[in-house]
Amino acid sequence: MKLNEAEDFYFVCCITSLFHKTQMIETLRHIDTSIFHFINGTLANPILDVLCSVLRGKTFLVIFYAAVAVRLFQLYPKQFIRIALAGAITFLLTDQISSHVIKYFFHRIRPCNNPAIGTRLVIEQCGSGFSFVSAHAANSFGMAMFLIFILRFNHQSSIISHQSFTTLLLITWASLVSFSQVYVGVHFPADVIGGALLGIFIGSITGITTRTKFAFQ
């Protein structure tokens, strides 16, 4: 094969690969939008309107974190300050990386700010920030994973000592918060999945580090 023919063949291969990648991205985007419409529109009912608005609201989240802090103090009074500090660092990392790094890299418009999507906005304000990834999902899954690694070895409580129960409870909470973000119309499903993966990654690192190297030494 001559040099010019090889160059032409390579060019055709690159164009073909780019075409298939573009098709794949469009297919994934279509699936993402379809799932969004199902959650935001098809599942719509007055009970979920209230429940999801409460679950993702600041008041509920503050109460939840306060209750967790009280429980951690009861279980680990000597290590509480170090655990609380590590938890705050976890939240700071998930929140800042999701909101001020990833979102400004992808620049994805929120569904409620895109008239072409036809979003049913359940809450009063859509928000002016970008959509991918969801900070709510990153924060909730980050804290859930952090707490799972902190609480999983505790044997002081007949409830908390059950690792499976603790994991199920925390993952369910984080999942409901993430689901609510899609239901109320401020995020696509891919946004909360991306946020969840980010939170799981950061929360696992901070949780393991805190448990093995920091708070309990």
Short-list 172, 212, 160, CA closest to 196? 172
CA distance linking residue 43 with residue 39, whole number of Å:
5
For the chain, the domain total comes to: 1
Q: Which residue has the tokens 């409460």?
A: 54
Whether 1 has a pLDDT exceeding 90, the answer reads: no
pLDDT value at position 159? 45
* 90-109: average pLDDT: 95
The continuous run of DSSP H or E covering 161 comes out as none
State the residue range of the domain holding 140.
45-214
pLDDT value at position 28? 87
pLDDT value at position 34? 95
Domain membership of residue 33 (yes or no) is no
Residue 217 amino acid letter? Q
Burial 147-162 (b: 16+ CB within 10 A, else e): bbbbbbeeeeeeebee
The separation between CA 125 and the C-alpha centre of its own chain, rounded to angstroms, equals: 20
% helix, strand, coil for the chain, step of 5: 75, 0, 25
Domain membership of residue 56 (yes or no) is yes
Domain membership of residue 135 (yes or no) is yes
Percent of the chain with pLDDT over 70: 83
Quick one: pLDDT band at residue 158, thresholds 50, 70, 90? very low
Domain membership of residue 36 (yes or no) is no
Percent of the chain with pLDDT over 90: 70
Q: In sequence order, which residues have a C-beta less than 8 Å from that of residue 143 and are 6 or more positions away?
A: 65, 87, 90, 91, 94, 174, 199, 203
Q: Compute how many other C-beta atoms are within 10 angstroms of the C-beta atom of residue 203.
A: 29
Cis peptide before 133 (omega within 30 of 0): yes
Q: Which residue has the tokens 């804290």?
A: 143
Q: In sequence order, which residues have a C-beta less than 8 Å from that of residue 97 and are 6 or more positions away?
A: 138, 198, 202
Contact 90, 203 (CB under 8 A): yes
pLDDT value at position 8? 47
DSSP state of 68: H
Contact 149, 112 (CB under 8 A): no
Domain membership of residue 73 (yes or no) is yes
Whether 12 has a pLDDT exceeding 80, the answer reads: no
Domain membership of residue 8 (yes or no) is no
Domain membership of residue 142 (yes or no) is yes
What is this structure's pTM? 0.84
* 117-137: average pLDDT: 92
Domain membership of residue 186 (yes or no) is yes
Give the chain's radius of gyration (CA, Å): 21
Whether 23 has a pLDDT exceeding 70, the answer reads: yes
Contact 156, 189 (CB under 8 A): no
pLDDT digits (tens, 9 = 90+) for 62-77: 999 999 999 999 989 9
